[in-house]
Amino acid sequence: MLRTSARLSDGREIIYFDESPDAVRVLEDPRGLAPVESTSTARYDRLTGEWVGIAGHRQTRIYQPPADQCPLCPSTAANHSEIPSPQYDVVVFENRFPSFAGTGSPARIGRFFTTVEGNGRCEVVCFTSDHNATFSHLTPERVGTVIEAWADRTAALSAQPGIEQVFCFENRGAEIGVTLAHPHGQIYGYPFVTPNTAAMLRQVAEYRTATGGNLFGAVLDAEIAEGVRLVAQNEHWVAFVPFAARWPIEVQLFPRKRVADLTELSPEQRLALAPIYLEVLRRMEGVFDDSLPAITAWHQAPVHEGRDDFWLHLQIFTIRRSVGKLKYLAGSESAMGAFVNDIPPEVAAERLRQVPLDPAQSGH
C-alpha cells in the first residue's frame, strides 16, 4: 500500500492510501481556504459522570449538496472538492467542521461545572471515489485498504496529546442523519473515554476481580457454545447477534484472539476480516426489502487505560425494524437509556442466516 500525505490550502492534513505503488495523486489544493477555527469544548455532567461535547461551529457544515457538488468526490474542473486529486482509492483528511480539535489545553475545573477544551481530532475517511457505491459492495481488497487506513489513523491519533480514545465509524443513510451521500466514514479522537466504553471497562474489571478471567472472552465463548445467535464465522472472526441486542438487527464481530485495537491485528486477522465483514453487511441488507440505515462502530481500547483486558470488536446495527418502519429512540431510550427491542435476538439471527448469498460473497 502506498501512503501519501499532503496539506489542504487551509493547513488540514490529507492522506492518500493507494493500492498501487505507482499511484500518482494531485496534492495541491487551489481553493485558498481560510484556516479552520474550532470552538469545541467538553463539559462534565456531575449527575451522570459523563462528558458532553459542545461544538456550535458545526451548525454551518455542508448539508446534502447535489451530487455534482459533492465535497468528497475527486476534484474536477467544475468542482474543486476536499480531495484535490482527480482519482483516489481511499483517502483520509481532517474534518473542516470538527467536533473536537486541538491539543493539550488545560481543564477549567469547578465544583459543579467543569469544562475542557475540545482537544482531539476528527477525520473523514472516503472508502472509494465512486459516489454511488456502498461499503457492502466494495471488493475485499478495498476493504483491506480501509482497514489499513483505520489502523494507521488509530496509531497516529493515539499518539496525539490530549486524546483518550479513538473511534472509527460509519453512518449510513439519510434516516441516520447523514449529511453527505458519498460513501465515507469518520474517525474521532476524543479528549475523554466515552460513556459506553467506560461502562464496559467497569463490567470487565468487576469480572476480572471476581473470576480472574476476561469478560469479553467469556461472553464470546458462551455465544459460540450456545450457537443460536451466531451469524457467520471463519478461522479468525465470529459474528453474532448479542444476547441483549438493543437494535432491531444488530451484529457484533469479534476476533477469536484478543487484541486491544486495530493496530494490534495480525496480518492473518486483517486478511480474514474483509470477507466476513462484507458478508455480515450483505446479510443485513437482505433481511428487509428496504434501505439499510445503519451504523458501524469499532469499539477499541482507550489510549491510556483498560488495554490489558479490552477486546476489539465491531458493532453493526440498523434502525430499520420492518419495511417502511424505523426504530425511534423515544421516551424510554432517550430519557432513561432503557432500550426495548421489538425483534428477539434469536429471531434476528435466524433471519440473517436465512439471507441467500452468492457463494463467492461468503465469509466462511
What pLDDT, in 10s, does the model give residues 51-80? Answer: 999 987 776 666 678 889 999 999 999 999
Mean pLDDT (whole number) for 236-252 = 98
Predicted confidence at residue 105, as pLDDT, reads 61
Q: Which segment of 59-63, 66-70, 178-182, 253-257 scores lowest on mean pLDDT?
A: 59-63
Residues 283 and 170 placed together within one structural domain of the fold = no
Bridge partner residues of 168 (DSSP) = 187
* pLDDT tens by residue, 1-52: 999 999 999 999 999 999 999 999 999 999 999 998 888 889 999 999 999 9
| Residues near 181 by beta carbon (within 8 Å), at least 6 away in sequence | 64, 67, 70, 131
CATH code at 36? 3.30.428.10
Question: Same domain for 298 and 183?
Answer: no
What residues contact 121, with CB distance under 8 A and at least 6 apart?
Answer: 94, 98, 100, 101, 157, 160, 163, 187, 188, 189
| Residues 352 and 304 grouped into a single domain | yes
* Co-location of 207 and 328 in the same domain: yes
To which residue does cell 494531485 refer? Answer: 26
Using an 8 Å Cβ cutoff, are 144 and 271 in contact? yes
Report the alpha-carbon distance of residue 299 to residue 198 in Å, rounded: 11
Among 192, 208, 227, which residue terminates a domain?
192
Q: How do residues 116-161 score in pLDDT, each as one tens digit?
A: 888 899 999 999 999 999 999 999 999 999 999 999 999 999 999 9
In this structure, the answer to whether residues 244 and 352 fall within a common structural domain is: yes
Q: Which residue has the higher pLDDT, 127 or 359?
A: 127
- Of 110 and 260, which is predicted with more confidence? 260
Q: Give the range of the structural domain holding residue 355, as residue numbers without chain letter.
A: 196-361
Claim to verify: residue 250 and residue 163 sit in the same structural domain: no
- Going from the C-alpha of 208 to that of each of 307, 309, 354, the distances in angstroms are 13, 9, 37
Kindly state whether residues 149 and 279 are assigned to the same domain.
no
Q: What is the pLDDT of residue 56?
A: 78
Q: Which of 192, 223, 241 is the last residue of a domain?
A: 192
Share of the chain above pLDDT 90, in %: 86
- Torsion sign, CA atoms 171, 175, 177, 182: positive
The verdict on 209 and 187 lying in the same domain is no
50 and 164 fall within a common domain: yes
> What is the tens place of the pLDDT at every residue in 79-129?
999 999 999 999 999 999 999 988 756 667 778 998 888 889 999 999 999
The answer to whether the CB of 91 falls within 8 A of the CB of 23 is: no
Query: What local confidence, expressed as pLDDT, does residue 109 receive?
Result: 74
Q: Which of 167, 192, 217 is the last residue of a domain?
A: 192
Both 220 and 239 in one domain: the answer is yes
What pLDDT does residue 37 have? 82
Q: Which three cell numbers stand for residue 107?
A: 481543564
Task: Kindly tell me if the per-residue pLDDT of 363 is higher than 60.
Answer: no
pLDDT digits (tens, 9 = 90+) for 295-310: 999 999 999 999 999 9
Please give the tally of structural domains in the chain.
2
And the C-alpha cell for 61? 457544515
* pLDDT tens digits, 262-289: 999 999 999 999 999 999 999 999 999 9
- Whether residues 140 and 203 fall in one domain: no
Q: What is the pLDDT of residue 156?
A: 98
Please tell me the pTM assigned to this model.
0.95
182 part of the active site: no
Q: Which of 182, 184, 236, 313 is catalytic?
A: 184
Dihedral angle, C-alpha 67, 73, 76, 78, nearest 10 °? 30
The reply to whether 241 and 169 lie within a common domain is: no
